[in-house]
Amino acid sequence: MANLVTKAVKSYDNLMLKADPRVSDWFLMSSPVPSLLVCIAYFVLIPLGPTLMGDRKPLDLRRILLFFNLGMVGLSTYIFCEFLLSGWAAGYSFGCQPVDYSTSPQALRMARVCWLFYISKFVELFDTLFFVLRKKFSQVSFLHVFHHGIMPISWWFGVKFAPGGFGTFHALLNSFIHLMMYTYYGLAALGPSFQKYLWWKRYMTTMQITQFILVVIHSSQLLFIDCNYPMTFVYWIGAYAVIFLVMFINFYRKAYQSSTKNKVIHENGHIKNHTQNNNASKKHS
């Protein structure tokens, strides 16, 4: 047992030798333990939400949600613009794009936005907390919890070892999706009078599916070309995209195609009953 612990510590130390020294003293970046503990606590506590809320009334958080979602729109917009200005609209290649580990202003700008994207994944955990406090337990699906729960620890490693380059393409797309998503949530928080502006809900899921398709296509390039970018992250990003592509397609099918089918059945049944009633009326007249 002691030998296993010694080997694990040595392997960890050797791994940390490959870390980016520029981020070593940034907040939460000295060790993966805090991020890992937050993720574990999230996975443990969130399933207890219905029990902890018990017979309590749902909390009215409309004002809090309005300001939270407005803030997240601003944060997501800023992150999206920074990913563009520090790389994707400033010379990055959509093919092979190595990480720039230099201390140039452009390279440091990209590293900083990667770190901010990582920090934003902790803030997004409040989405689930708000669902629980409002007793919107149907929103706390496996897809939602799994997606939110693995992002902080995943991105700790991304920032620690590869803050920039090829792997930030999915973060660029994700930040755009999130600015759209929090715009939707913000409108929803304004109350029933704004429901007419929320007709595009299903298109949000379509955009998320499109996002993962693009990430799968983008990631798969490095399976066929040589590139000075850590392949471990390519495999992880690609696998992540495939898993969530399947899960979001399944969600879309259940949430929208099933509801459309039920609507058609209901309307056909209504027409059929209406026709039968008319025929019966004619027969008795």
Q: Output the CA–CA distances (angstroms, integers) from residue 151 to 117, 216, 218, 258, in the order listed.
A: 10, 17, 19, 30
Q: How far apart are CA 84 and CA 23, in angstroms?
A: 21
Token pair 């007249």 in the structure block, residue = 285
- pLDDT of 157 above 90: yes
Residue count of the chain, please give it: 285
Q: How far apart are CA 179 and CA 148, in angstroms?
A: 16
The pLDDT assigned to 260 comes to 52
pLDDT digits (tens, 9 = 90+) for 176-188: 999 999 999 888 8
pLDDT digits (tens, 9 = 90+) for 80-90: 999 999 999 99
Q: How far apart are CA 208 and CA 248, in angstroms?
A: 8
The pLDDT assigned to 284 comes to 46
Q: How far apart are CA 148 and CA 154, in angstroms?
A: 11
Percent of the chain with pLDDT over 90: 72
The pLDDT assigned to 191 comes to 81
Name the pTM for this structure. Answer: 0.87
CB 58 within 8 A of CB 139: no
The pLDDT assigned to 283 comes to 45
> For residues 261 and 50, which has the higher predicted lDDT (pLDDT)?
50
Q: Is 284 a catalytic residue?
A: no
- pLDDT of 197 above 90: no
> Domain limits of the chain?
35-272
Q: Annotated catalytic residue: which of 147, 218, 266, 270?
A: 147
| Amino acid in position 110 | M
> For residues 79 and 266, which has the higher predicted lDDT (pLDDT)?
79
Q: What is the mean pLDDT of residues 239-259?
A: 86
CB 181 within 8 A of CB 204: yes
